[in-house]
Chain A
Amino acid sequence: MRRPTVRRSGVRPLDFLRESAAELSGQPVRSLLTLVGIAIGVSSVVVSVLLVTTVRFQVSDQFDARLATQVVVAPSGSDSAPGPEPESAEAPWRQDGVDRVRAIPSVTAVASTVRSQFDQVVRPNALVDPTAIPETTAVFGVDPLAVPELDGDLRGPGWSAWHAAHAERVAIVPERAAAAHGLQGVEVGDRIFISGLDFTVVGTVGPVPRLPVLETGILVPDTTLIRHFAADATTRRLLVVTQPGAAPDVAEVLAPALLPTDPAALAVSRPVSDVTLRQAVDQNLTNLGLVLGLVVAVIGSFAVANTSLASVMRRYGEFGLRRALGASPFHIGVHVLTDATLLGFGGGMIGAVAGEAIMLGVAANRHWQPVIDVRIPLLAIAVATLVGALAGAYPARVASRIEPTEALRR
């Protein structure tokens, strides 16, 4: 008996794509809803990852501008350096030492600060209400150039070296402290009372980005603080601002320059290692992006799988017909897989473009420098396509196992 010689039937790969395109366009509402679902998921990932990248850039930028250019000197025995407590409230360094530090080429600003030993009662006038519980606030002794050098927006003349040398009762009132202690509306030339002593306001100041703690108290000359309120020597600091990247080198020479006779009496530190902190932030943000991506990928795959499975059920009769026309179970599986993959690809494309647009919109709104990394949307499209294909695998298996005779009866 002659064995059959059967030519293998087949479908050109392009025809699988054509059939899927025809099927998806033939059910526009269903396809659109699925595409939108996938696109929302993909755009969420793209926005998250791109925003994370952009925000990371912003954060890094701020670290570079602030923390990475900051070195702090404290006397040994202060609350940030080991050793016996300082004997004197005076700064252990002298003005010529500070001048030498200022002369270091990569140093851009130097500011000395010290806090009062006890918080003081501050009032806008001399009247004392015996029934009221007095409000107290910190008083900081700072050098004449400290506020502008700490990037503070000083409004008013401030005090000069003469005021400092004579321990004059002049004060700069930060807006934040004014709001907290009933000094709103205080202007240059007004008088305020600190523990009963009158002080002339020589300036007001908004945020002090490099040393925000100064915003919480009243600022007076270093010498005035020591004379009238007693300084807490353990809080004395010399904040040195450097050019970007120079902080480690400046830190090396700071103590000998400031106090050549006894550099060991000073503790030099950087508030934070910018590299370590940036790495930590980078890692956290990257992990956040990855987790978001994973969550959306899982949700997206269920959406595609659900749509594909529903499509298989709806197209039961069609698959029976295709089998009658010569499709093998493999061909049916590939049809379903192609549909799901196309949905993933289409949703990925729409989502990637939408995600880019949203991210650019947010960045423009927040005045951020957007970080455009084309690899992210491309990767999102690739992942969405892969997720579509994986999600279509089970429905494809179900469809390929449909009995043609049973399907044709439906």
Chain B
Amino acid sequence: MASTPLVEATDLGKTFAGPVPVEALRDATLTIEGGEQVAIVGPSGSGKSTLLNLLGLLTDSSAGSYRLDGLDTTGLSERQRASLRAERIGFVFQEFHLMGPRSSLENTELGLLYRRFPKRERRRRAEEALVAVGLEDRIGTKVDRLSGGERQRVAIARAIVGKPRLLLADEPTGNLDEANSMAVLDLFAALREENTAQVIVTHDPLVADHCDRRITLRYGRIESGGPR
């Protein structure tokens, strides 16, 4: 029997309400297997971020269906979607979204805050995650004092500390130089061994070339690379 894909989206669509409704995404059908690394490319306004937000359960779809890890997410309450995000999804953002006055360890711990882990367990796992991204000597450092590459590695540590099934990254190398970009891609590559699927929105051809597959969006539609 064939294994169930981690991500199964069928005719997914998103229309933003307003005086003039905006159809940001339509008829998006795609599947992603566990451990697969998928790049989403396309010009600005093509619906990349909207697709990422839908896959990350940060917003409701207007049409279609989305199954994550075999679970139908249609009609879930906000609380249930929050629980799924906490347990199965990790996010990495271009702007890092770290909490400046806090240390690398405290920022990484945040990735487990909403999962009822005891403080000691959160700390242990966060330290492991920071070691995994090569920041063992920056554990207690305030993130304000870290370089851009180090900050992004803290953000990745926060995203992977809960061992998510799906990692969503929005322009993760957008603010980094080439060396730091390569370091981030190496970290993502290592996650494949953990069977973590990765969806990376990027404008960078170098990043897209590193991925197993490329989905191209244009005018809110998947132009190529959707279903396998």
List A residues at the B interface (Cβ < 8 Å).
1-12, 14-15, 18-19, 22, 25-27, 317-318, 320-331, 403-405, 408
Residues of B within 8 A of A408 (CB): 58, 93, 97
Cβ of A6 and Cβ of B76 under 8 Å apart? yes
A122 to B111, CA, bound (A): 94
* Contact residue among A9, A18, A318, A323 (Cβ-Cβ distance under 8 Å from B119): A18
A371 to B118, CA, bound (A): 46
What residue in chain B is nearest A15 (Cβ atoms)? Answer: B113
Residues of A within 8 A of B119 (CB): 14-15, 18
Which residues of chain B from 135 to 165 have any CB-CB distance to chain A below 8 Å in the complex? 158
What is the interface size of chain B, counting residues whose CB is below 8 A from a CB of the partner? 35
* Contact residue among A3, A22, A317, A405 (Cβ-Cβ distance under 8 Å from B102): A22
Cβ of A8 and Cβ of B79 under 8 Å apart? yes
* Contact residue among B73, B76, B85, B100 (Cβ-Cβ distance under 8 Å from A325): B85
What residue in chain B is nearest A14 (Cβ atoms)? Answer: B119
Quick check: is B56 within 8 A (CB to CB) of the other chain? Answer: yes
Residues of A within 8 A of B87 (CB): 6-7, 9, 326
Quick check: is B84 within 8 A (CB to CB) of the other chain? Answer: yes
> Which are the 10 A-B pairs with shortest beta-carbon distances?
A326-B86, A26-B101, A326-B114, A4-B71, A328-B82, A9-B83, A9-B86, A321-B97, A6-B80, A324-B91
Residues of A within 8 A of B91 (CB): 324-325
Secondary structure call for the B interface: mixed
Quick check: is B99 within 8 A (CB to CB) of the other chain? Answer: yes
What residue in chain B is nearest A315 (Cβ atoms)? Answer: B99
Quick check: is B227 within 8 A (CB to CB) of the other chain? Answer: no
Q: Contacts A22-B102, A26-B102 known; A10 to B72 CB distance under 8 Å?
A: no
Which residues of chain B from 27 to 63 have any CB-CB distance to chain A below 8 Å in the complex? 53, 56, 58-59
Cβ of A19 and Cβ of B101 under 8 Å apart? no
Residues of A within 8 A of B70 (CB): 2
Cβ of B82 and Cβ of A4 under 8 Å apart? no
Cβ of B113 and Cβ of A19 under 8 Å apart? yes
Cβ of A325 and Cβ of B111 under 8 Å apart? yes
Nearest CB on A from B138, distance (A): 18
Quick check: is B171 within 8 A (CB to CB) of the other chain? Answer: no
Cβ of A4 and Cβ of B58 under 8 Å apart? no
What residue in chain B is nearest A10 (Cβ atoms)? Answer: B116
Residues of A within 8 A of B110 (CB): 321-322, 325
Which residues of chain B from 158 to 178 have any CB-CB distance to chain A below 8 Å in the complex? 158
Residues of A within 8 A of B59 (CB): 403-405
Q: Contacts A22-B102, A323-B58 known; A329 to B78 CB distance under 8 Å?
A: yes
Cβ of B99 and Cβ of A26 under 8 Å apart? yes
Question: Given A2-B70, A318-B99, A326-B113, 19 other A-B contacts at CB below 8 A?
Answer: A2-B71, A2-B72, A4-B76, A5-B71, A6-B87, A8-B79, A11-B113, A11-B114, A19-B113, A22-B102, A26-B99, A27-B101, A321-B93, A325-B86, A325-B91, A326-B85, A405-B53, A405-B59, A408-B58
* Contact residue among A27, A321, A326 (Cβ-Cβ distance under 8 Å from B82): A326
Among B71, B78, B106, B114, chain A packs the most CB atoms within 10 A around the CB of B114
* Contact residue among A5, A12, A22 (Cβ-Cβ distance under 8 Å from B116): A12
A367 to B67, CA, bound (A): 78
Between-chain CB contacts (< 8 Å), 21 pairs: A3-B72, A4-B72, A4-B80, A4-B84, A6-B71, A6-B83, A6-B84, A7-B87, A11-B116, A317-B97, A318-B97, A321-B110, A323-B82, A324-B85, A325-B86, A327-B114, A328-B82, A331-B82, A405-B53, A408-B93, A408-B97
